[in-house]
Amino acid sequence: MSDALAAAADLVPQLAARAEEHDAAGAFPTADVAALSEAGLLGLMVPERLGGFGAGFADYTRVAQTLARGAGATALVFNMHASVTGALASVPEDLARQLGAGEAFFAQRDRLLAAAAQGALYGVGITERGAGSRLHALRTTYEPEGEGYRLRGHKSTCSGAGHLDGYLVAAKAAHAVDDPDGPVSHFLVPGEAISDVEDTWDVQGMRATASNGFSLDCHVGADTLLGGIEGVAGLLAYGLPQWLVASYAAVYAGVARAAVDAGVSHVADRTVAGQAGGLGQVGWVRARLGRTDAQAEAARLVLEEAGRLVDLAPGEPTTNAMIYRAKLLAGDAARDAADSVAEACGLAALRRGHPLERLVRDARSGPVMPPSSDLAADVLATQHLGLDPVHGTDVRPW
Ligand SMILES: Cc1cc2nc3c(=O)[nH]c(=O)nc-3n(C[C@H](O)[C@H](O)[C@H](O)COP(=O)(O)OP(=O)(O)OC[C@H]3O[C@@H](n4cnc5c(N)ncnc54)[C@H](O)[C@@H]3O)c2cc1C
């Protein structure tokens, strides 16, 4: 696995060199994805027997953090791809068979994973206007049609939409769309089935994720139903939330560290008021660097522990609590570190073209991406209070 991490570290300078241009144009980072593919990293989560690295969750968190130190948006696109391939690769085979998954599902899974190792890129389409990422409130539906299903709906936000070879689409059973407890399933929809990608992504930060919306009204085969059974989306969200929750934490822990690095490099070079030794001679500037270093490292360590627990004991309550802590701490650390360091560096860090100017904007999405920091805190408190995670409070997290 050190090979994958070393490959990611090698890519950081070129991702950083292209980040400003991609950010300014809000352009999908095609060259970065090609470099990830060439380094074999699109196969990070793919088992070795299918041509990948066969990585675990902890490995993923280290690779994604490293990429985020070069370009947060590219790391986020990578995160969506790793979430799809990682979830696919880790479907417990015995359990899936017991629940009714047939050979067609496993053959399709292996095809998709092998294609990823060869450079196919996947993304995730959950979010909808009016529902956010709350699965129970989605309005995209599926219903049986012939040998497979018909999917209909609209997704408002999908990183890389229009550039993807496949989409993990969350949809509700059409017969239960108004029932908050109705089954929500995941479908692996081929890229060519997605129509009407909208050019609507014009946001403050993470601009190069090109997270545009799209519509779908298509027939998909029965083998595209993730796990081969209905209702998997809800089961994963509540039972095995690593790919829905802590995968983002890895990106934002990397963004937090990138902000500290950018601050250190600015402070070391900057002369202020003709003072010898530069900005680093100012005590409160050093204190901000020290505080944000501690915050970024704390987020990394909690994420590392979450990764260790996911690989060791997936689905355990202690594991899931660590996953939510990691997301909360990483999102907040990124926002706070970028803000604080930029303020310490002064106007230069607010000018377009300065890495901190982009990092401040990119980091702002950390606490917003699902689960938001507030929601993650609520999930943790709900667990401590011994309340039912779905119906026990006025907030249903997923
Ligand atoms: C850079 C970026 C990339 C993205 N890429 C993708 C992608 O590839 N695929 C995808 O599907 N989505 C993607 N998203 C969308 C992301 O998942 C949404 O931001 C997320 O679903 C939250 O939706 P929302 O922002 O509309 O806010 P909401 O979820 O509506 O949240 C708004 C407010 O409501 C609060 N809240 C959250 N949950 C609840 C609840 N259950 N009850 C009450 N209040 C609640 C929040 O804390 C927040 O304060 C991306 C977003 C960003 C910023």
| DSSP assignment string, 114-126 | HHHHTT--EEEE-
Summary mean pLDDT of the chain: 95
Pocket of ligand 1 from Cβ distances under 6 Å: 76, 80, 123-127, 132-134, 157-159, 206, 209, 211, 365, 368-370, 372, 374-375, 395-397
CATH 1.10.540.10 intervals, the chain = 2-117
CATH number of 240-384: 1.20.140.10
Atom 27 of ligand 1 has which residue's CA nearest to it?
132
Calculate how far, in angstroms, residue 367's C-alpha sits from the geometric centre of ligand 1: 10
Which residue bears the tokens 């609507």?
A: 200
- DSSP-assigned letter for residue 204: S
Name the nearest CA neighbour of 390 among 375, 374, 379. 379
Mean pLDDT of 230-238: 91
> Which CATH class for the 2-117 domain?
mainly alpha
Q: How far is the CA of 134 from the centre of ligand 1 (A)?
A: 8
The residue among 125, 89, 71, 60 whose CA lies nearest residue 307 is 60
Report the chain's terminal Cα–Cα distance, integer Å.
33
Looking at ligand 1, which atom is closest to the CA of residue 206?
A: 1
Mean pLDDT confidence for 180-194: 95
Confidence band for 269, pLDDT divided at 50, 70 and 90: confident
The pairing of beta strand 184-190 with beta strand 166-173: antiparallel
pLDDT of residue 274 exceeding 80, the answer is: no
Tens digit of each residue's pLDDT (9 = 90 or more) over 189-203? 999 999 789 999 999
Kindly give the residue spans of alpha helices, DSSP state H, lying in the chain: 2-25, 30-38, 57-70, 72-89, 93-98, 103-117, 232-239, 247-269, 283-312, 317-345, 355-363, 373-384
Predicted confidence (pLDDT) at residue 99 exceeds the cutoff of 80: no
Residue 278 has a pLDDT of 83
Residues facing 145 on adjacent strands: 148
Encoding tokens for residue 294? 């501690």
CATH, range 122-230: 2.40.110.10
Domain with CATH 2.40.110.10 in the chain: 122-230
Residue bearing the CA closest to ligand 1, atom 14: 157
Pocket residue to mutate for ligand 1, from 157, 209, 382, most atoms within 8 A of Cβ:
157
Q: What is the pLDDT of residues 1-58, one digit of tens each?
A: 679 999 999 999 999 999 999 999 999 999 999 999 999 999 999 999 999 999 999 9
Does residue 121 have a pLDDT over 90? yes
